[in-house]
Structure 1
């Protein structure tokens, strides 16, 4: 059954004499469309009108199909853009862009979380990069990396966050299709902290906080390698030190007191050192000190000052005090020498002679022995 297009009393209803109704093919499951051609006078060739209407209907169908397709594409594109925007903002990596005028144009959520500034706050600064890199020279290198010489290789930078803490970060740069450079970074502060802790633990004696045996011997080898360099003026003294009567401290007051005595012993050595000494624990109560001096007399003077300090400030325990004593062997290296084992044997023999002849003294070894 049909439906009236207009009520009978409508002006157009009085004017219409004939018409052709043509269905436009379904555009989608829930949409229907029709084409109606109305005329104000009767026509003698309705079949021709139906053919014309069908042709017009087909054209309209094609046009509307294309329009719907475009709308669908626009919706899909909008959804994709929204997805990428969410990805950009929520990605657990640092992403930002700075233009040629040093203004920040992109600043994702991870940047705001890690550094503590919003995009608006960053761009309030005359030079936004100064917030992160107060040092002008460092800032210039960073600016070059994001403006003139971007690289896909990861580079380590140490920016400052809002609270003043310095971060360790890795950055690479990607040139986008419009020529803008996107900076992609990762905050590795915690990882670096863990690496530094592991490195510290691998090279440090847990009790005394001086170098362990392996680390101090590596430093000795490095010093010897430096002596081999042409025109090298490297010179240093090996001072091997052994705390006298340490077993008695453990036996009389316990191992905890013995540990405290070793800690105090190392603390006094550091206080007497000048320049850049390197102190390592070889084992037990025996230590090796690399002292930057060129004359055996300077090394002997160092051990004399150390003994005077122990005499002036005895090691104190809960109910007693003890003046620590030590024996030492000294060997000065002023010329190229690549036999680390030979040097250690010579200075160890000098230490043994000091202990054998009464302790509490320093014996100087010679490379000519």
Structure 2
């Protein structure tokens, strides 16, 4: 027990200390010199000092009241006659925190003093909370209303008067029904009271009436307060006027759903109306026309007269189109000069013709802007639902596609969507998906066809030819699938795969001691890509052991003729990388002599269509002679494609062409078969037999 012994103890005081030691009150004592003689457990708990520390301190009051004036004021109360009256003090705890408390001093006969205190901390906090609650009640922008159990208004805050227009005195004692708007039926209020009785709260939107008669929306929350017996004693309602919020929301909804320039529905509202129109068309069994309209010549007006003039034109066109609409039709602007019209409840498809004619006439009429007349026309694409039985997004896509056909067909017209064309497009889409999947599944392979020198049997290189190892249809040649890739991203992805595969194959063969060049076919679309040369250079850098000259790019003659200057610049840059350039199918594109002089060529390939019949067709033989003559003129080596027989090889040697390729030499083969074929080709020495079938030509005639 924290008490003290010593000369100041006497039996009655010692007994009192033992009684007060465990008291829930704060109890301490001081002698005439101000030294602590009593310090109970509650003091120790709240203040943090133990009795021994206080006994050792010459002036313990200085710990609780470090301010000398305050400490003296406390000491002065020790000597007052009415010392037993309670006074409020705030002594400091060991942590330096003021402890609000009430103290009464009791003087003992021996001159010592007992101080009895009561901690006011909780009371002070409660008072603060009450003051805060009262302040919140008075200052809240939300209306707060308190009623009794019989629903009579007891108290309201100032915000209630500001919102409703009623003074506090006009509301007190009345029922909140005074504010009722009359818009809600009995069922609404029955549901409210049922929620209050069963869940003690209700929250929702409600329409009430101000004193001036104005009806306005409230967001209202009501809570039921219950007494200890569980009976409802009061109801507290908190509400806010949401008139402005409603107005702002309506304005935002209008902005979100209507075009700011023309005031007609935008894409978002169109989507909603289209879905409803489709449901109504299916329900009623009547066609719905979805029309995609694009203005012809609008950009020119914008450029010549400025954007404000363009905006005025769009506003006038929208006004004219709205005048054509019937009750259930819709006009929407998607943006720019693009509009969508929905014509519903058509009895039959031909009912649409006069409507669209009026639309075209309305758009094509002159418009006066800034005292000047301007004129545009419209291209309209149309699809009919449910004949075109797809979803809303696809309906718009189909109408858009038909609109582009209308533009291509001459503009100022409308075009119905062709479902058969869509079927073809869908089929192509599925085929492209299959090809993309084939690339990811590594189903494409490269076959290699040898190119040889018939004079000495040397294998001068290989041409890489792509194949598709289809899991169900087997090995597919390029003609079965490559045409589907033209102009697509997949075409470039596949070309990149081919290039990497060819360079890797050159590297692999080099490791086996085979120094073979490989030619790779590139299309016009690839050559005309802005970064074709950069991509090629980057790929070559990934294979540092491969000499660039081992890579040969073959391009068709027609690509050079159509884009001669651009192709020439690209090929020159490729040439500077060290890559060899071969003109494929020479003779089919009617190249001019100037194009032959401009292009940086390392070899020409005579198209196989001339080679195949030259033994029996004098015209083909003459063409081959002419090509060889041109090649000699421009000092370009020539390789003949389509050499299918030894006789063709012998005739080509007679004409002076000794580079050849074709099934008569070897069919395209997988890479792993190439080394064995080369060994067999050299062992059989077939070129010796060819030389014995003709008289060697004049060395000056050989196109090497």
Q: TM-score, normalised by structure 2?
A: 0.36
Structure 1 position 289 matched with structure 2 position 347: no
Residues 167, 324 of structure 1: CA spacing in aligned structure 2 closer, same or farther, 3 A cutoff?
farther
CA distance in 1, matches of 2:307, 2:221: 53
TM superposition shift of 1:246: 1.2
Structure 2: gaps of 5 or more residues: 1-80, 89-117, 119-124, 422-704
Conserved? CA contact 2:144–2:157, under 8 Å = yes
In structure 2, the partner of 1:149 is: 195
Per-residue CA deviations over 1:86-141 (Å, capped at 9, x if unaligned) read 5433323222256788764443221222233334556899x86475524243x752
Deviations, residues 279-319 of structure 1 (Å, cap 9, x unaligned):
333332111123333343444443344455567x8533221
Cα distance change on mapping 1:25 and 1:347 into 2, 3 Å: closer
CA 1:292–1:128 in 2, change beyond 3 Å: closer, same or farther?
farther
Indicate the SS of the match to 1:327: strand
What's the TM-score once normalised by structure 1's chain length?
0.62
Structure 2 partner of 1:118 = 167
1:203 shift after superposition:
4.4
What root-mean-square deviation, in Å, do the aligned CA atoms of Structure 1 and Structure 2 show?
4.5
In the alignment, the residues of structure 1 paired with residue 212 and residue 406 of structure 2 have an alpha-carbon distance, to the nearest angstrom, of 55
Determine which of 138, 149, 152 is the counterpart of 1:89: 138
1:27 corresponds to which residue?
85
Residue 287 of structure 1: SS of its match in structure 2? strand
Deviations 1:22-61 (A, max 9, x none): x88633359xxxxxxxxxxxxxxxxxxxxxxxxxxxxxxx
Separation in 1, partners of 2:235, 2:338: 58
Could you tell me how far apart the structure 1 residues matched to 2:361 and 2:368 are?
A: 16
Residues 131/169 of structure 1: CA separation in 2 closer, same or farther (3 Å cut): closer
In 2, the alpha carbon distance for the partners of 1:154 and 1:234 equals: 45
Q: Quote the residue 1:42 is aligned against.
A: none
Paired with 1:235 and 1:123, the residues of 2 have a C-alpha distance of 64
The alpha-carbon deviation at position 202 of structure 1 amounts to: 4.4
The 1-side partners of 2:128 and 2:84 are apart by: 26
- CA shift, 1:156, in A, is 2.7
228 and 260 in structure 1: CA distance in 2 versus 1, 3 angstrom threshold? closer
8 A Cα contact 1:172 1:184, kept in partner:
yes
Distance of aligned partners of 1:28 and 1:99 in 2 relative to their CA distance in 1, 3 Å threshold: closer
SS of residue paired to 1:133: coil
Q: 1:177 offset after TM fit, Å?
A: 2.1
Within-5 A mapping of 1:215-364 = 216-217=270-271, 219-220=273-274, 226=279, 236-294=288-346, 295-307=348-360, 314-322=366-374, 325-334=377-386, 337-364=389-416
Q: More relative contact order in 1 or in 2 (CA 8 Å, sep 6+)?
A: 1
Once the two structures are TM-superposed, the CA of residue 261 in structure 1 deviates from its matched residue by 0.7
Question: Is 1:158–1:169's contact at 8 Å kept on the other side of the alignment?
Answer: yes
Q: Secondary structure at the match of 2:327?
A: coil
Structure 1 regions of 5+ residues with no counterpart?
1-22, 31-68, 70-75
| Structure 2: distance between partners of 1:274 and 1:122 | 53
Matched, 1:135 2:183: yes
Which whole-Å CA distance do the structure 2 matches of 1:284 and 1:27 have between them? 88
Q: How far 1:264 moved relative to its partner?
A: 1.9
Q: 1:202 to 1:135 in 2, by over 3 A?
A: closer
1:237–1:292 contact (8 Å) kept in structure 2? yes
Question: Is 1:209 aligned to 2:263, yes or no?
Answer: yes
CA drift at 1:80: 8.1
Residue 172, structure 1, aligned to residue 221, structure 2: yes
Q: Measure, in 1, the Cα distance between the counterparts of 2:149 and 2:328.
A: 46
Aligned 8 A contact 2:281 2:345 in 1: no
Deviation readout 1:183-208 (Å, 9 max, x if unpaired): 22234444555555555444444333
2:157 pairs with 1:108: yes
Which structure: larger Rg? 2
CA shift for structure 1 position 269 = 2.3
The 1:301–1:160 alpha-carbon spacing in structure 2 relative to 1, beyond 3 Å, is farther
Counterpart-to-counterpart distance in 2, 1:129 and 1:337: 55
Residues 249 and 221 (structure 1 numbering): CA distance in 2 closer, same or farther, change over 3 Å?
same
Checking the alignment, whether the CA contact within 8 Å between 1:227 and 1:336 is kept in structure 2 is: no
